Amino acid sequence: MDPSTSAPSNSNTDPEIQKFIDLFEAEKNAKPSTTEDQQQQTSSSSKIPSWLSLKKSTRSSAPTPADIPPRDALSEALLPTDMSCRQAFDQAWACNSMGGQFNAVYRYGEMRSCSEHWDDFWFCMRTKSYSPEMREKAIRDYYRAKEFTKYGPGKPSSEDVWESREDKVPEGTVFNEPVEPRN
């Protein structure tokens, strides 16, 4: 059976597989124009969609450092400067495992995408060859962008439920009653 007719045109695809396929497409587009002309002729004559026509990832791209507003000094100091590739791989592997997906289906009613975990792992692997200073900066920038994506403006927050306290609680006004021990 022809693979182009066996796959539905609106198939859901893992973003990691899509990235892998995009690598081949980028390589194909980098070849001389004579092969491009031949491919255009064959693709225009064929009306059947290819099994490679998969949907793009629905994840939004990470914000660039210019998009992220400056933060206070304490928040900057708390950003990690080191990353364990082994831990990143273990988290991605556990997410993709049967147990990890079972928990996701049980808790949320659907399988979860593990792309964020794999992104962490591959980022870590890319930064292995950096100089120590460059690696620290890259990791700090990576986590700053991740935090902004997760907690930036317009994202859900605990402040949707609780009001943020503007003033420090005066000393001695709370927890000043003794606790009775249970018998």
With 70 as the cut, is the pLDDT of residue 59 above it?
no
Among 52-66, 114-128, 165-179, top mean pLDDT goes to 114-128
The number of distinct structural domains making up the chain is 2
Count CB neighbours of 117 within 10 A: 20
d(CA 149, CA 65): 12
Domain around 16:
12-58
Q: Residue 163 falls within a domain, yes or no?
A: no
Examine the domain organization and report whether 45 and 69 are in the same domain.
no
Residue 61: per-residue pLDDT? 61
Examine the domain organization and report whether 28 and 86 are in the same domain.
no
Residue 13: per-residue pLDDT? 74
Examine the domain organization and report whether 45 and 117 are in the same domain.
no
Q: Residue 167 falls within a domain, yes or no?
A: no
Examine the domain organization and report whether 96 and 133 are in the same domain.
yes
Mean pLDDT of 47-69: 55
Q: How sure is the predictor about 133, in pLDDT bands with cuts at 50, 70 and 90?
A: very high
At how many degrees (to 10) do helices 115-127 and 85-96 cross?
A: 160
Alpha helices in the chain (DSSP H): 3-6, 15-29, 33-45, 73-77, 85-96, 98-108, 115-127, 132-151
Residue 22: per-residue pLDDT? 84
Residue 57: per-residue pLDDT? 44
Bigger pLDDT: 38 vs 155: 155
Examine the domain organization and report whether 44 and 114 are in the same domain.
no
Residue 52: per-residue pLDDT? 38
Among 55-59, 109-113, 163-167, top mean pLDDT goes to 109-113
One-letter amino acid of 42? T
Q: What is the pTM of this model?
A: 0.54
Mean pLDDT of the chain: 78
Residue 23: per-residue pLDDT? 80
